[in-house]
């Protein structure tokens, strides 16, 4: 959890994903969503995998939605 | 079997409405919790666990016990849906985190984290991590909400994580890394600083500080990312077989972030006030003697030391009163007083950060969830030493307003220092302002004082400028 590779992965993940997220502050948010995801990350490599999967789902969902809009 | 107490005139605590397992109510001076069947089960889980004995003996939690007291109309009629009542030891004076100094909040944070770590081997956790569940008794933090204890269910995260960040970590980090006093911020965001406010306050440079990247930057990023999502995240914790070991690892990591935090602001000039004041040694000795003699004569059970600075006179009051509330607007002076009390194990002093010109108001739902400062108790005696000129000259408070407040507070005794215009400290205040204080003189002060109080003792300090009064409230 505290090793260098884990931290690097988190950093790279954050920087890459930050570019696809809007930088708008919240209109309405689940106040605990961010806290839950941080805990998943801190839960070890398996948790990091879950977070990556969740974001991958968001990215593919975004493109799928884009394709559907075009057709 | 003794006849159970029958309670009438029950007052439900206005701020106790969130927990579905029960709520607090008062009967006279006693404090009770009404429990639902679920709350009662939680209570017995804890009561029968060895954790309970450890926690009560070590003063980690406020003592709570079963009572056979019933309400005047019978428990079930007064509180439908409630299955039981427990009584809790009364806290002498309730204070709120936005009135604590840095080290008080930090000690409350560490108390919460240490309790979580100690409870884990017994299979217990805390359902929340609100700073309002902590109170200070004899200079030590104590957990007052016994209903926040629950058996940990495997596959769950640390439920109080976000609350801990918002009510403890972010406040401490703001003072430690940015030099921003957290008290006024927490008073506004009394549920804690939201992540979207914390992130810009911390700024880019703050991310490099221990734990801030994870707990501020990442948390903010994730929150934004999932603000529109209705995706349930909790099942992932079950998939990962999240356990108390995972929770404890996160709590331990949090403790490692909180423990080294120190306030970063340079010391305020009030911290060195005692060393740079305009008194002679003879004045100080005479002042101490006067305060000691007055308190010895008055024997108040509670004293409010308004403008206490580092508590020089609170320590004298503590010898005669069970409880001294030591109040000052300067967070650093109050922090020094707290640390001194903690390190020297001085009981009976509760240091609080509060500006007498802007005391804590009623906050939260209906302005009642958190009581105003003056609504929380009445002092038997008030100390106002070297404060008058700040109120009257700096803030233009008329004598009539001042004594009206003291009458409303119902203080039996007031020990107050009159600081004349000729005093160097008042001259300093007047240096760059028009002197519109013709009314600020000793005869006018006495005229107003003697409308409501009678003179017990008066002494002019040896330098011949400042005058000390011990006043006793007139009874009509």
- pLDDT tens digit sequence for B392-419: 999 999 999 999 999 999 999 999 999 9
A40·B214 Cβ contact <8 A? no
Structure tokens at A4: 């260098």
Is-contact B164 B108, C-beta < 8 A?
Answer: no
B162·A24 Cβ contact <8 A? no
For every residue of B249-294, DSSP letters joined together read HHHHHHHHHHTT----SPPPTTTTHHHHSS--HHHHHHHHHHHHHH
Exposure string over B233-271, b if 16+ CB within 10 A, otherwise e: beebbeebebbbebbbbbbebbbebbeebebeeeeeebb
CB nearest to A36's CB, from B165, B214, B233: B233
Work out the number of other CB atoms within 10 angstroms of the CB of residue B35: 24
Which pLDDT score is estimated for A1? 43
Is-contact B356 B391, C-beta < 8 A?
Answer: yes
For every residue of B213-225, DSSP letters joined together read IIIIIIHHHHHHH
A37·B161 Cβ contact <8 A? no
Helices and strands, number each (H, E), in chain B? 20, 18
Which pLDDT score is estimated for B121? 96
Name the closest residue on chain A to residue B215, using Cα atoms: A38
d(CA B94, CA B42): 25
Is ipTM > 0.90 here?
no
Between B78 and B469, residue with greater pLDDT: B469
* Residues from chain A contacting residue B216 (CB–CB below 8 Å): none
Mutation choice for B interface testing from A43, A48, A59 by most B CBs within 10 A: A43
B224·A26 Cβ contact <8 A? yes
Which pLDDT score is estimated for A10? 54
Is-contact B95 B350, C-beta < 8 A?
Answer: yes
| Å between A71 CA and nearest CA of chain B | 24
A41·B218 Cβ contact <8 A? yes
pLDDT averaged per 10 residues in sequence order, chain A, 71 residues:
51 47 35 84 83 83 66 46
Which pLDDT score is estimated for B77? 55
Between B268 and B447, residue with greater pLDDT: B447
Exposure string over B363-391, b if 16+ CB within 10 A, otherwise e: beeeeebbbebeeeeebbbbbbbbbbbbb
Is B331 in a helix, a strand, or coil? Answer: helix
A42·B214 Cβ contact <8 A? yes
B226·A37 Cβ contact <8 A? yes
CA dist B249 → B116, B117, B134, B158, B162 (Å): 11, 9, 23, 10, 16
For residue B476, pLDDT over 60 is answered with yes
Interface of A with B in 13-42 (CB under 8 A): 14, 17-18, 21-42
- 3-state helix, strand, coil split of chain B in percent (to 5) is 45, 20, 40
Plot region of B365 (φ>0 → left; ψ -120 to 50 → alpha; else → beta): beta
| Å between B183 CA and nearest CA of chain A | 22
Residues 6 or more apart whose CB falls under 8 angstroms from that of B432 comprise none
* Residues from chain A contacting residue B233 (CB–CB below 8 Å): 33, 36-37, 40, 54
pLDDT digits (tens, 9 = 90+) for B23-43: 999 988 899 999 999 999 999
B158·A39 Cβ contact <8 A? yes
Structure tokens at B78: 């007064």
H helix or E strand, kind and range, residue B456? strand B453-460
According to DSSP, the residues that pair with B134 across neighbouring strands are B143
According to DSSP, the residues that pair with B7 across neighbouring strands are B71
Exposure string over B106-116, b if 16+ CB within 10 A, otherwise e: bbbbbbbbebb
d(CA B310, CA B231): 52
Name the closest residue on chain B to residue A14, using Cα atoms: B218
d(CA B370, CA B366): 10
Residue B382 dihedral angles phi and psi, to the nearest 5°: -120, 135
d(CA B150, CA B391): 48
- The verdict on A4 touching B (C-beta cutoff 8 Å) is no
Work out the number of other CB atoms within 10 angstroms of the CB of residue B118: 15
pLDDT digits (tens, 9 = 90+) for B54-99: 999 999 999 999 887 655 444 545 677 788 889 999 999 999 999 9
A40·B158 Cβ contact <8 A? no
Mutation choice for B interface testing from A3, A33, A55 by most B CBs within 10 A: A33
Work out the number of other CB atoms within 10 angstroms of the CB of residue B125: 23
| Å between A70 CA and nearest CA of chain B | 22
According to DSSP, the residues that pair with B65 across neighbouring strands are B87
Question: What is this structure's pTM?
Answer: 0.90
B162·A40 Cβ contact <8 A? no
B250·A39 Cβ contact <8 A? yes
Which pLDDT score is estimated for B257? 98
H helix or E strand, kind and range, residue B305? strand B302-306
Confidence of residue B234 (pLDDT cuts 50, 70, 90): confident
Structure tokens at B230: 């209705």
Name the closest residue on chain A to residue B225, using Cα atoms: A21
Which pLDDT score is estimated for A64? 74
Mutation choice for B interface testing from A19, A20, A32, A34 by most B CBs within 10 A: A34
| Å between B233 CA and nearest CA of chain A | 7
B233·A38 Cβ contact <8 A? no
B240·A47 Cβ contact <8 A? yes
Name the closest residue on chain A to residue B243, using Cα atoms: A43
Side-chain half-sphere CA neighbours of B109 within 13 A = 30
Question: Beta strands B22-27 and B30-35: pairing type?
Answer: antiparallel
**What torsion, rounded to 10 degrees, do the Cα atoms B457, B463, B465, B470 define?**
-20
d(CA B465, CA B386): 12
B219·A46 Cβ contact <8 A? no
Which pLDDT score is estimated for B329? 97
Name which of B381, B375, B216, B379 is nearest B291 in CA terms: B381
d(CA B93, CA B351): 11
Between B318 and B71, residue with greater pLDDT: B318
* Residues from chain B contacting residue A37 (CB–CB below 8 Å): 218-219, 222, 225-226, 233
Mutation choice for B interface testing from A32, A38, A44, A62 by most B CBs within 10 A: A38
Mutation choice for A interface testing from B169, B226, B237 by most A CBs within 10 A: B226
pLDDT digits (tens, 9 = 90+) for B93-131: 999 999 999 999 999 999 999 999 999 999 999 989 999
Plot region of B299 (φ>0 → left; ψ -120 to 50 → alpha; else → beta): left
């Amino acid at each position: 959890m505290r090793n260098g590779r884990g931290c690097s992965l988190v950093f790279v993940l954050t920087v890459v994903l930050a570019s696809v997220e809007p930088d708008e502050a919240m209109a309405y948010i689940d106040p605990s969503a961010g806290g839950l995801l941080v805990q998943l990350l801190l839960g070890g490599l398996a948790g990091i995998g879950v977070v990556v999967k969740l974001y991958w789902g968001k990215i593919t969902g975004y493109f799928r939605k884009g394709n559907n809009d075009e057709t | 079997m003794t006849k159970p107490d029958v309670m009438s005139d029950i007052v439900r605590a206005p701020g106790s409405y969130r927990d579905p397992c029960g709520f607090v109510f008062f009967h006279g001076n006693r404090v009770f919790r009404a429990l639902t069947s679920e709350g009662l089960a939680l209570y017995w889980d804890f009561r029968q666990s060895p954790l309970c004995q450890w926690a009560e003996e070590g003063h980690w939690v406020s003592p709570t016990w079963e009572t056979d007291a019933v309400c005047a109309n019978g428990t079930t009629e007064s509180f439908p849906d409630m299955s039981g009542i427990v009584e809790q030891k009364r806290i002498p004076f309730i204070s709120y985190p936005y009135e604590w100094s840095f080290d008080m909040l930090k000690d409350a944070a560490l108390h919460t984290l240490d309790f979580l770590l100690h409870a884990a081997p017994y299979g217990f956790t805390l359902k929340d991590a609100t700073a309002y569940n902590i109170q200070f008794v004899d200079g030590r933090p104590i957990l007052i909400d016994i209903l926040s204890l629950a058996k940990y269910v495997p596959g769950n995260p640390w439920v109080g994580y976000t609350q801990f960040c918002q009510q403890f970590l972010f406040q401490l980090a703001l003072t430690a890394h940015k030099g921003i006093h957290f008290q006024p911020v927490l008073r506004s965001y009394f549920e804690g600083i939201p992540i979207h406010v914390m992130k810009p306050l911390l700024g880019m440079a703050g991310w490099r500080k221990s734990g801030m990247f994870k707990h501020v930057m990442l948390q903010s990023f994730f929150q934004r990312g999932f603000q529109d999502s209705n995706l349930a995240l909790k099942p992932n914790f079950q998939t990962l077989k999240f356990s108390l070991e995972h929770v404890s690892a996160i709590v331990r990591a949090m403790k490692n972030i909180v423990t080294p935090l120190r306030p970063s602001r340079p010391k305020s000039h009030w911290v060195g006030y005692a060393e740079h004041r305009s008194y002679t040694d003879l004045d100080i000795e005479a002042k101490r003697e006067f305060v000691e003699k007055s308190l010895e004569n008055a024997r108040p059970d509670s004293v409010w030391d308004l403008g206490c600075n580092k508590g020089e006179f609170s320590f004298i009051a503590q010898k005669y009163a069970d409880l001294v509330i030591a109040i000052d607007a300067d967070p650093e002076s109050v922090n020094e007083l707290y640390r001194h009390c903690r390190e020297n194990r001085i009981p009976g002093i509760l240091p609080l950060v509060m500006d007498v010109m802007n005391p804590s108001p009623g906050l939260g739902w209906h302005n009642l969830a958190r009581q105003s400062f003056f609504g929380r108790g009445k002092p038997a005696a008030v100390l106002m030493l070297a404060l008058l000129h700040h109120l009257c000259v700096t803030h233009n408070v008329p004598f009539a307003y001042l004594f009206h407040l003291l009458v409303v507070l119902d203080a039996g005794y007031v020990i107050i220092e009159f600081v004349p215009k000729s005093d160097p400290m008042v001259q300093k205040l007047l240096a760059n302002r028009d002197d519109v204080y013709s009314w600020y003189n000793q005869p006018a002060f006495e005229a107003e004082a003697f409308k409501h109080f009678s003179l017990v003792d008066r002494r002019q300090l040896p330098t011949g400028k400042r005058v000390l009064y011990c006043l006793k409230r007139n009874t009509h």
